[in-house]
Amino acid sequence: MSNTTPTNIVKPNQRKPLFRGVCASSVTPFKADGGLELERLKPHIDWLISEGVDAISPLGSSGEFAGMEMDDRKRVLEVAIEHCGGRVPVVAGTHHVSTRLTVELSRHAERAGADALLVVPPYYMAPTPTQVMEHYRRIAAAVSVPVILYHNIPLTCVDFKTAHLVQLFEEGVIGGVKMSNAEPDRICELLQATGGRLFVYAGIDSVAFEGLCHGAHGWISGIPSMVPGAARRLYEAIAVRGDLAAAREIWAKLAPLMRLQFSAYHARGDGAHWFSVMKAGLNMIGPAVGNPAPPVLPLPREYDEPLAQILRDLGYKVESAN
């Protein structure tokens, strides 16, 4: 890790407070030909808010940003922010493979009214941690809303250690971290290193229970995006009431969804793709959002009934398992 003095482009970007609680990554509805179907986005957002989310994050992984052109990303974000209408904070995904395009998307998000940004490290080129730290400094210099760093090693090949993240926080570059790491202690270590001043969010469902018990400020992942009401019940049991017995009962019903949703991801092979599960589940219990954009395909029929039963066990009315 480099101890180089930060460049003079850095400025604090923590003027707005970040959210605490459950954040849903809103999905992007597509037509059969791959075009945007934005009329489906508004009822989807209304449903998420009715489920009790504390924030919404358009164009996260669940927003399928990686398969979208710049103009479409901007259109989705503008519609989401306008329709949200200040009901909950909007954390805009502004990731891209280059610093220049990430800055462009970040500036656009701030102008559109985003309350914060969620930014994954540049993907595919696998830059070094030192290079990616400068990437975040340039983003922070371009905007005045908080930046949440999306820590996602498998899909970026960038592994920021706790020391890197603390340095970026102390410089005022980032205000939060979405920790999508399968090791719960990465959340614990980061919280302890900053005394809870850096907002840390559980970013993958397999560590959500432990992360919230360690004191994570919230949860941004698949379960909060598909069954937000159930996710909120778990968050309140742990973070608000400190009722571990109740939290265990809630998690016992959520864990099967986590295992189904990430079965292919964790096996690094075939099975139920996490996003196919998410869109299928949303189609069963909320306003229809359509299918994933290829190459991700709809959930195979063999998983429909197991998913539907999990959703019923969580208290949702399943309209259709087909």
Q: Is the pLDDT of residue 12 over 90?
A: no
Q: How far is CA 300 from CA 87, 154, 216, 306, 318, in A?
A: 36, 24, 34, 11, 17
Listed in order, strand segments (DSSP E) in 5-69 are 21-24, 55-56
Q: Report pLDDT for 68.
A: 95
Q: Report pLDDT for 7.
A: 44
Walk across the sheet containing 21-24 and list its strands. 55-56, 21-24, 218-220, 199-202, 176-179, 147-151, 116-119, 91-93
* 178 in catalytic set: yes
Q: Which carries the bigger pLDDT value, residue 266 or residue 86? A: 86
Q: Please give the average per-residue pLDDT across 48-64, as a whole number.
A: 97
Q: Report pLDDT for 265.
A: 84
Listed in order, strand segments (DSSP E) in the chain are 21-24, 55-56, 91-93, 116-119, 147-151, 176-179, 199-202, 218-220
Q: Report pLDDT for 266.
A: 80
Q: Please give the average per-residue pLDDT across 261-268, as a whole number.
A: 86
Q: Report pLDDT for 8.
A: 42
For residue 9, being part of any structural domain is answered with no
Q: On the CB side of 18, how many CA atoms lie within 13 Å of its CA?
A: 32
What percentage of the chain reaches a pLDDT higher than 70?
A: 95
Question: pLDDT class for 69, splitting at 50, 70, 90?
Answer: very high
Question: pLDDT class for 319, splitting at 50, 70, 90?
Answer: confident
Q: Are 102 and 135 in contact (CB under 8 A)?
A: yes
For residue 305, being part of any structural domain is answered with no
Residue found by looking up tokens 């989807």 in the block: 44
For residue 140, being part of any structural domain is answered with yes
How many structural domains are present in the chain? 1
Q: Are 231 and 22 in contact (CB under 8 A)?
A: yes
Supply the CATH number for residue 84's domain: 3.20.20.70
For residue 11, being part of any structural domain is answered with no
Which domain range does residue 104 map to? 21-243
For residue 13, being part of any structural domain is answered with no
Q: What is the mean pLDDT of the chain?
A: 94
Q: What is the dihedral of CA 268, 251, 58, 276, to 10 degrees?
A: 40
For residue 4, being part of any structural domain is answered with no
Angle at 186 between CA 249 and CA 63, to 5 degrees: 75
78-128 pLDDT, tens digit per residue, is: 999 999 999 999 999 999 999 999 999 999 999 999 999 999 999 999 999
Q: Which member of 136, 178, 201, 279 is catalytic?
A: 178
Q: Is the pLDDT of residue 212 over 90?
A: yes
What's the rounded Cα separation, in Å, for the pair 181 and 132? 18
Q: How far is CA 207 from CA 34, 51, 106, 237, in A?
A: 33, 22, 29, 16
For residue 314, being part of any structural domain is answered with no
Q: Which member of 150, 201, 303, 316 is catalytic?
A: 150
**3-state SS, residue 36:** strand
For 197-219, b/e burial (b = at least 16 CB within 10 A) is ebbbbbbbbbbbbbbbbbebbbb
For residue 279, being part of any structural domain is answered with no
Q: Is the pLDDT of residue 314 over 50?
A: yes
Angle at 15 between CA 111 and CA 99, to 5 degrees: 55
Q: Which carries the bigger pLDDT value, residue 30 or residue 17? A: 30
Strand partners, 176: 148, 199
What percentage of the chain reaches a pLDDT higher than 90?
A: 90
281-299 pLDDT, tens digit per residue, is: 999 999 999 999 999 999 9
Q: The whole model's pTM is what?
A: 0.94
